[in-house]
Amino acid sequence: MAGDNPGQGAEWWRGCVIYQVYPRSFQDTSGDGSGDLTGIAARLAYIASLGVDAVWLSPFFKSPMADMGYDVSDYRDVDPMFGSLEDFDALVAEAHRLGLKLIIDQVISHSSDKHEWFVESRASRDNAKADWYVWADARPDGSAPNNWQSLFGGPAWEWDATRRQYYMHNFLSAQPDLNFHTPEVQDAVLDTVRFWLERGVDGFRLDTVNYYVHDRWLRDNPPLASSVAGTNGATSTYAFQEHLFDKTRPENLDFLKRLRALLDEYPGRAAVGEVGDEERSLQTLAAYVSGGDKLQMCYTFDLLSPQFSAAHVRGCVEAFESAVADGWVCWAFSNHDVVRHVSRWTWPGGNPDTVAKFSIALLACLRGSICLYQGEELGLEEAELAYEDLRDPVGIRFWPGVKGRDGCRTPMVWEAEAENAGFSTAKPWLPVPQAHRARAVDVQDGWDGSVLSAYRSILALRKHHPALVGGSIRFLDAEGDLLVFVREGGGERLLCAFNFAGEPAGWTLPAEFGQVEAIDLAVDASGSLGEGGLALPPLGGFLARIA
């Protein structure tokens, strides 16, 4: 088995910086065009050089890859595409040698339809696993049991000719939902979690954590008025409902308590949950992290949206802070499911590098843990792919209205002039965008003005200031698109200011402030202090110590 959990304290996760790796696109060492665990291990020193605390691996389990590994057919083994369990153990050991924590995805709201549990469950209505998945009879007219919709479009029900019943799938029909109302299912799922704890992992990212439990009476969801009116730009039928009964059920809290009890058997382990809950995301997050008996932290999609303004960021952070007295949040601007934030937030004619540096400075100053997505430290923009290059089932189905998630999943660029930018010696599973080569690691490494250099400097700065890692946050009023707040803790008070606008902004320092000493924030446009107060250029940032 891999080495023991390294130190850094039982609450290492509080204020930590997590780096997300999408294994299929990180580094290929086997020559098949897809990344693997050995490749990740070989690049861990690079990840450590960024100054992060933990690495999160997206799924590497055995899978038919209908949804790129988020359809698991064996929770206790590595898909041959990525290597072996021995390769995983070596990866854990190398991460711990470098002082990095290792977090792995757990996709337990659903499995693959090729999982042995589902194969047995669908065989008959009276076998030992007959109720391990969500089965229901058809309505008298043969239609689905209720109006629930799949997140990937269309009904959340698939007819099975063997059982002559429908089964529920929140995502693809190849991803049947497990039935968490069955105690044996909870036991089996927790046993798979224990398997990886025994192999030395430090934590789990819980995919779709609020989808585990469904309404046992299968009540219809009510329509969402704004969707019916066509005002929310819905591109999927899923967005036309208020999801009261197909997810975020109160019984889920009981399972999360069981999960936390298991984690607590292994000192220093932690879980971060992904909450997708549209209108109620922050309230759900608050419920899942409060009380110290459920998850250590969660993240939502609130800051993974196209909205880019001081008011939006302040609203999200203050909503969490007011809802949760004793819980913790994890903030992220990009991940494997959304358009890269540099592309989302760079206005026409703007400089993506400036946006990238501004964004990491802002993220590093927020209260909470933070999660980075591979390639954002290079300022990578969303890739524009041809339809014939797509692998994501969402993009393939809904093109061109929705282009899918492949644009943020293209291979990591290591060497600008190397074959496939150093990712693989074979044709990559997704193309390497030509525009990304100019931002390769070997181009930016050692260049003080690069996005990569800014990431390293800002993450080092965050680690140096205890107020940024774990201090309190208090917002101050400011005119226009200006975000101003104070972080306090560890014997220091820090003033943080960010101008989201395309024009300069000014701010008058409160009389209560004593001496204010500026700290270099490593952004392209830094604010300055004068007799009139604080002056910030467009997309400018400012950090200072308050006496």
* Rg of the chain, C-alpha, whole Å: 23
Question: Within 10 Å of residue 41's Cβ, how many Cβ atoms?
Answer: 21
Amino acid at 413: V
Q: Report which secondary-structure segment, H or E, holds 299.
A: strand 297-300
Note the maximum CA span of the chain: 80
> Which of 53, 71, 87, 207 is an active site residue?
207
Q: Please report, as a single letter, which amino acid is at residue 203.
A: G
Q: Are strands 17-21 and 369-373 parallel, antiparallel or unpaired?
A: parallel
Is 207 one of the annotated active-site residues of the chain? yes
Q: Does an H or E element contain 17, and which?
A: strand 17-21
Q: Is 68 left (phi over 0), alpha (psi -120 to 50) or beta?
A: left
How many angstroms separate the Cα of 282 from the Cα of each of 37, 124, 371?
34, 41, 17
Tokens 């990740």 label which residue? 40
36 is catalytic: no
Of 141, 265, 388, 512, which is the active-site residue? Answer: 265
Question: How far is Cα 239 from Cα 34, in angstroms, rounded to an integer?
Answer: 33
Neighbours of 265 (CB within 10 A): 9
Report whether 528 contacts 541 (CB < 8 A): no
Report residue 509 CA to chain centroid gap. 36
- Under 8 Å CB-to-CB from 230, ≥6 apart: which residues? none
For the record, the structure tokens of 269 come out as 């382990």
Whose tokens are 């917002």? That residue is: 475
Active-site positions read 207, 265
